[in-house]
Amino acid sequence: MCTGRVDLAFILRAFLNGADGVLIGGCWPGECHYITEGNYLALSTTYICKKLLDLVGLNPERLRLEWVSASEGMRFAEAMNDFSKKLKELGPLGKGEGIDRKGLHFKLEAARDLVPYIKLVERERLRVPVKSEQAYHEFFASEEVARLFKELIADKLQMRQIIALLRERPLSGGEISETLGLSPSEVSLHLNSSARQGLVHFDESRKRFVPL
């Protein structure tokens, strides 16, 4: 299968199912068998997913993209051994980062639910004009992309995390803050915004927020 078919949702699903890491192996740039040049699509997906992992508190090094042709069996073995060693250093998913398992689940679930929107942002605002590894690296490492991620994705991701958590049971702002590791001010900001959009409301009888 072409690496261009490795959907962002597939990677997040693997982490949701408890995988400590994900390695994607694909053809070298310039050697794609398809006119779509799927390896560059995979490169873009990898950079975006690494930013998402960072946003939910996971080490981006848990995701790796390696260029390996069908004839490079030795390189493949070396890449797998090196990645396995790295994952042992990082420790079990979430535990190695000191993230509560339940909180991590809601964060990853929210990221997965946001995939259709993220794809739209990628198509409209995160297209790299030049197909080269260097161009992709410079683009996704730029301050402009960092700003776009903050404005268009990071805030929406936190709101999704809160909504996913409230679907489980009504919670106070403090309980949400403790579970998701967000500051009280961030939680208050997102709850107020969600209330204005008709997504949540405060139940006076229970003194808890509930989803609509």
Sequence-distant (≥ 6) Cβ neighbours of residue 129 within 8 angstroms: 135
The amino acid that residue 162 corresponds to is: I
**Is residue 40 in a domain?**
yes
**Is residue 173 in a domain?**
no
| Number of domains within the chain | 1
Q: Which residue range is the domain that position 23 belongs to?
A: 3-101+118-142
**Is residue 134 in a domain?**
yes
**Is residue 110 in a domain?**
no
**Is residue 73 in a domain?**
yes
Q: Which residue shows structure tokens 């004009």? A: 129
Per-residue pLDDT of the chain (212 residues; tens, 9 = 90+): 788 889 999 999 999 999 999 999 988 887 777 766 788 999 999 999 999 999 999 999 999 999 998 888 899 999 999 999 999 999 999 999 998 888 898 889 989 999 999 999 999 999 998 889 999 999 999 999 999 999 899 989 998 889 888 988 999 999 999 888 889 999 999 999 999 999 999 999 999 999 88
pTM tops 0.75, yes or no: yes
